[in-house]
Amino acid sequence: MTFLNDAWNWLNHAAHWHGSGGIPMRILQHLGYSGVVLLIAMVIALPLGVMIGHTGRGTVVVSTLANVGRAIPTLGLLVLLAVFLTFSPLAWIIPLVALAVPPILVNAYEGVAGVDREVRDAARGMGMTGWQRLVKVEVPVAMPLIVLGLRTAAIFVVATVTIIAYIGLGGLGRYIIDGLASYRYGPVAGGALVVIVLALAVQALFVGLSRLLVPAGLREQARHGKTELPT
Amino acid sequence: MTWSWIPANSGEILSLTAKNALLGVVPALIGLAISLPLGIACVRWGWLYPPALSGVNILYALPSLAVFVALQPYFEVETDPPVIIALTVFSLCVLLPSVVDGLRAVPEHVRQSATAMGFGPLRRLTQVEMPLAAPVIIGGLRVATVSSISLASVGQLIGVSSLGYLFIDGYQRAFPTEIYVGITLLIILAAAADLLLVLSRWWLTAWRRGDAGEAGVT
């Protein structure tokens, strides 16, 4: 078991846990980059996806983004922007935001657009305005998919922040890129193991978050299977 | 943009493109070959699906570069297996849910009709259920193939050649032309693979051609 062995040996050096290049610092950097990117992507994609789902206008944008988004070569975009923008943070922010926007947008759209007709009509029948229906009914009902979109984006971003070390930035990818460049497998394995654990922790965090954000009524429904209206 | 660079290096560009196509398509196909029997098993024995789904969800969260380097010591340096294995796993994560969803979407009355017509379980699966599930499975295959083609370029960081070479080399020489060519070819490759799969869906689902729109599986 070379990978785990080497990773373990490297992680067991106290020196790797201290200072500006230490593991805790690198984890914070990694989460910092990821947080900035996710926040920007959310600000762009959530309102857009929810509004397209609510109004039904602009659905072409969603299907195009869903298809194009996956094909974007993040490494290519990253190095291209790094050549032109050198030290600007936009060089890493743009490709990572481009990676995070499609899953958030598509899921927010599908969640809101997929709200049952009966539910929409009931809200309208209760005298709710368009805005009230959106905020009090459609968004809460769409919450499971909205959180799923955020989770997918977070997973993509935390994973991909690893490669921005290639253009000279920090984060956990630093250990992998530097180790590969100097033919030392210890830091490569150690860095990879830490980033894997971090990715799993972020995923677990979002699974927990969906428990918190999904309205109690929907959770009840999920537990008992979709309730069918008597006809 | 230094256009003259392109014809001067066309041989290498072509071979990198072909290599990238291979690294994208092979994992998607192996992933399909594994997820079909696994998906069928998950539909037949329902209890198998929740743990399998949790498993693929966990695997899907793993950063590709970390998986590449984790597999690296078990193979000869700079050979393809680490990238192919990692991308196969990611493809499997996308494909297993599509196989299961596709098969589960086959209406019960269709299944019963097939049985009533004397179809045994195997014939019903291969001649009725699988064709009806094909559009959903091909949908998953499109995602898996396009992502694999794109992710294969990251394998260049561990020395496995692909169009990613143009990214790395172009970056190190601060030569944008090379990076443009790499990005363009990667997108063309992904679009071409996607188009082929859309065509194969059209070819495989003859019954959907007659009437417009989404007849067939509901």
Tokens of B154: 């990251």
* Chains A, B: CB pairs < 8 Å: 131
Q: What is the pLDDT of residue B211?
A: 55
Tokens of A211: 């428990």
pLDDT digits (tens, 9 = 90+) for A112-132: 998 888 888 899 899 998 889
pLDDT digits (tens, 9 = 90+) for B49-94: 999 999 999 999 999 999 999 999 999 888 999 999 999 999 999 9
Tokens of B178: 């090379």
Tokens of A64: 């195009």
Cβ–Cβ < 8 Å for A44, A230 = no
Q: What is the pLDDT of residue A225?
A: 46
pTM, rounded to two decimals? 0.88
pLDDT digits (tens, 9 = 90+) for A138-165: 999 999 999 999 999 999 999 999 999 9
Mark B7-24 as b/e (b = at least 16 C-beta within 10 Å): eeeeeebeebbebbbebb
> B61 and A203 in contact by Cβ < 8 A?
yes
Nearest Cα to Cα of residue A218 among A111, A115, A118, A144: A144
pLDDT digits (tens, 9 = 90+) for B112-141: 999 999 998 899 999 999 999 999 999 999
pLDDT digits (tens, 9 = 90+) for A99-112: 999 999 999 999 99
Mutate which of A27, A67, A79 to disrupt the B interface (most B C-beta within 10 Å)?
A79
Tell whether the model's pLDDT for residue A67 goes beyond 80: no
Window 173-202 of A: residues touching B by CB (8 A cutoff) are 173, 176-177, 180, 185, 188-189, 191-193, 195-196, 199-200, 202
- ipTM reported for the complex, 2 dp: 0.87
Residue type, B177: T
DSSP tag of A226: P
Q: What is the pLDDT of residue B157?
A: 94
- What average pLDDT score do residues B132-161 get? 93
Nearest Cα to Cα of residue A195 among A23, A21, A70: A23
Dihedral in degrees, nearest 10, Cα atoms A39, A44, A45, A49: 140
Beta strands in chain A (DSSP E): none
* CB atoms near residue A120 (< 10 Å): 16
Handedness of CA A98, B196, B142, B157 (dihedral sign): negative
Q: Does B62 touch chain A (CB under 8 A)?
A: yes
* Euclidean distance between CA atoms B206 and B167, whole angstroms: 42
- Residues 6 or more apart from A230 whose CB is under 8 A from it? none
